Amino acid sequence: MKFKFYVLTSENLEALQRHTSVEYSNIPKDQIEVVINTLNKDYQKEAEDYCKSERIVYHVSSSNGTPARGKNSVFDIFLASDNEHCVLIDGDDFLTRHGVWMYQHLAGLETPPDAVCLTEQVSFRNFPNGVGLVKPFTMNYEELFNFNYYKMFKEKVGLSHEKSVYFESLHTKYYKQQQKYSEGAEVHCRVTWFSREAAKFRFDESLRIGEDTLQMLRLKHEALEGYLTFYSTDERPATYIYDERTDGIVMRESHINSEFEWMDTYLVALEKLKVEGRLHKNTLLPELKIDYPENYAYDDLARNTSYVHTLDSCEVSFPKNATEESLKAAYVYLKDLDFQQVA
């Protein structure tokens, strides 16, 4: 299996340590490479020392402070290697052990896909009563379009009339465009799996936010034109956890819900794709299907992100992206197991 898990890190050592921890992802150290892309020299040394002590392969790449530059540097390192596929793990996020298994499985296929993106994604978020699990990118568009953004920005955030009108307009246009061109109810679909061919499509470094959404839409165009194999996969159970508990680039750029000029920049870039004929309205990618072993017991790190199938009037908790054949085999296996336990 010529593939690697590439972890991009810029500032959070504790998050970096989770990827090989038995309490979290538990990625084998011979399957992971760390890319240190930071403007913080102290953190660079800290991350280097950690990788050396754990005997993890690492690279230091040049940073300009944008997520796009960091991700492009991962692609440069990947394409310079003899690996055929890679998993890109962003910043402070981490994989579940189910995710590690799934990507290892993809790497072992005779013809792995060129790209895979996520739907029904989950994230950690801080709430007044503790940490909760949410789906930040799965939208109810009817509610969004009926929401009074002007009132929120003017009265709750305390912005001027002019800025409140401007941000209301940006939000409305942004969500309308994403509803047209993304995947169903998903405002953003993270791409995690790349072939060498897919990694040739670089992230736009002029965007501080939205570079990954734009790249996903470019890959989607290539797939719909027949140049790449690109699938979406349902995150029930979760393979990838987006961690919002630290102030990432989105929160910093949005200044805790008071600045959204990044949406304007993103929409200009999106319009360019539209003019070039590289956007596809109301078109969905094919869904990834996995042949799981009949006795497969997924580990989503107890995040309760399971999916329950109904088969012969019985409920079966098994991954949503399972093939029909593997779901039926699991159902028979579980029935036999129940019978043996009763006997």
Model pLDDT for residues 147-168, shown as the tens digit of each residue:
999 999 999 999 999 999 999 9
| Type of residue found at 314 | C
């246009």: which residue's tokens?
A: 173
Confidence of residue 254 (pLDDT cuts 50, 70, 90): very low
Task: Tell whether 334 is covered by a domain.
Answer: yes
State yes or no: pLDDT of 309 exceeds 60.
yes
Task: Tell whether 287 is covered by a domain.
Answer: no
CB hemisphere CA count around 276 (13 angstroms): 12
In this predicted structure, what is the pLDDT of residue 248?
56
Do 196 and 52 contact (CB within 8 A), yes or no? no
Task: Tell whether 104 is covered by a domain.
Answer: yes
In this predicted structure, what is the pLDDT of residue 250?
53
Instruction: Mark whether 338 and 220 lie in a shared domain.
Output: no
> From CA 101, how far away is CA 27, in angstroms rounded?
9
Confidence of residue 259 (pLDDT cuts 50, 70, 90): confident
Segment 16-45 shows an average pLDDT of: 97
Q: Which of 37, 43, 23 is nearest to 95 (CA)?
A: 23
In this predicted structure, what is the pLDDT of residue 342?
54
> From CA 242, how far away is CA 225, in angstroms rounded?
30
Q: How many domains is the chain built from?
A: 2
Distance of alpha carbon 343 from its chain centroid, rounded? 44
Q: Which of 85, 97, 122 is nearest to 27 (CA)?
A: 97
- Scored b (16 or more CB within 10 A) or e, 35-67 reads bbbbeeeebbebbeebbeeeebebbbbebeebb
In this predicted structure, what is the pLDDT of residue 301?
86
Task: Tell whether 127 is covered by a domain.
Answer: yes
Instruction: Mark whether 218 and 323 lie in a shared domain.
Output: no
Residues near 9 by beta carbon (within 8 Å), at least 6 away in sequence = 15, 16, 34, 35, 36, 37, 38, 47, 91
Instruction: Mark whether 32 and 108 lie in a shared domain.
Output: yes
Instruction: Mark whether 249 and 312 lie in a shared domain.
Output: no
Q: Which of 223, 253, 283 is the last residue of a domain?
A: 253
Instruction: Mark whether 112 and 12 lie in a shared domain.
Output: yes
φ, ψ of residue 287 in degrees (nearest 5): -90, 135
Instruction: Mark whether 248 and 313 lie in a shared domain.
Output: no
Q: Which of 253, 270, 290 is the last residue of a domain?
A: 253
Q: What is the CATH number of the domain that holds 247?
A: 3.90.550.10
Residues near 22 by beta carbon (within 8 Å), at least 6 away in sequence = none
Task: Tell whether 294 is covered by a domain.
Answer: no
> From CA 221, how far away is CA 231, in angstroms rounded?
12
Task: Tell whether 81 is covered by a domain.
Answer: yes
In this predicted structure, what is the pLDDT of residue 260?
93
For the chain, the average pLDDT equals: 94
Do 35 and 9 contact (CB within 8 A), yes or no? yes
State yes or no: pLDDT of 257 exceeds 60.
no
Q: Which domain holds residue 317?
A: 308-342
Task: Tell whether 157 is covered by a domain.
Answer: no
Instruction: Mark whether 12 and 82 lie in a shared domain.
Output: yes
User: Pairing relation of β-strands 3-9 and 85-89?
Assistant: parallel
Q: Which of 232, 253, 274 is the last residue of a domain?
A: 253
Instruction: Mark whether 197 and 71 lie in a shared domain.
Output: yes
Instruction: Mark whether 190 and 329 lie in a shared domain.
Output: no
Task: Tell whether 109 is covered by a domain.
Answer: yes
Do 63 and 76 contact (CB within 8 A), yes or no? no
Tokens encoding 261: 């000029």
Instruction: Mark whether 131 and 243 lie in a shared domain.
Output: yes
Instruction: Mark whether 199 and 76 lie in a shared domain.
Output: yes
pTM above 0.85, yes or no: yes
Instruction: Mark whether 248 and 312 lie in a shared domain.
Output: no
